[in-house]
Amino acid sequence: AVIQAARAIAVGDASVALAGGVESMTRAPYVLPKSDRPFPAGHTEMYSTTLGWRMVNPAMDPQWTIPLGESAELIADKHGITREQQDEYALGSHHKAARAQADGLFDAELAPVPVPRRKGDPVDFAADECVRPDASLEAMAKLGPSFRQTDGTVTAGNASPLNDGAAALLLVDEEGLRATGREPLARVS
C-alpha cells in the first residue's frame, strides 16, 4: 500500500495519499479444500486459516502451505537457533516493548479504539495486548512446543502471537506537506 501511494504521488496522480492495512487473525475464516474430483460425496473437512495458508488446494505444491510457526521451526533448524536463544530473544522483546509502553514512546502513534460494554460507557483500548512485562525465562522454559510436538523449539512464549491490528501512513508531496502544516517524519524514495 505504501509503495502504491508513493508511486501515485511520484507520477502526479495524487498530492496526498493514505496507505494502510489490517490483519484480523481472530476473524480468520475456515475454508473448504478444493476437491480433487467433481461433485464429491461425503464429509469434507474444514480448515482453519489462522495459522496456515488461506486456500487449501491439493493441486498446489505443499511448500506453499507451511504455517508461519513451522517456517520458524525450519529456519531454526537451518541456522542452528536453539530453543534457549529463541526464548532469550523473545524475553528481551517483551521487556523492551513493556518499557516502551510504560514510557509512552508510541502513545502519539496509537489511536484508541472505543470498545462498547453491555453496561456503562465504552472503554478506550490503546495498548498492544500481547506484551508480557512479567515474562521470565523460567516461565518460558515450561511451555511446550506449539508446532512440532517431539522436537519443536517454537512455543507460545517465543512465537508471534495471534492478534488483530491495523496501521495507516499518510504520504504527501511538497504541496500536500504545506497543506498539513506539519514537519515530515520520513522520506519515501
In this structure, are residues 127 and 105 in contact, taking their beta carbons and an 8 Å threshold?
no
Cβ-based burial of 2 (10 A; exposed 0-12, middle 13-18, buried ≥19): middle
pLDDT, position 45: 79
Task: Grade residue 85 by pLDDT with cuts at 50, 70 and 90.
Answer: very high
Task: Give me the residue spans of the domains in the chain.
Answer: 1-28+162-189, 63-161
Task: Grade residue 55 by pLDDT with cuts at 50, 70 and 90.
Answer: low
pLDDT tens-place string over residues 98-135: 999 999 999 988 888 899 999 999 999 888 888 999 99
Between 57 and 147, residue with greater pLDDT:
147
* pLDDT mean over 59-72: 72
Q: CB within 8 A of 166, min separation 6: which ones?
A: 20, 21, 22, 23
Angle at 94 between CA 88 and CA 100, to 5 degrees: 135
pLDDT tens-place string over residues 156-178: 999 988 888 889 999 999 999 99
pLDDT tens-place string over residues 34-50: 777 787 788 877 777 77
pTM of the entire predicted model: 0.73
Round to whole Å and give the CA distance between 188 and 20.
15
Say yes or no to pLDDT of 63 above 70. Answer: no
pLDDT, position 42: 82
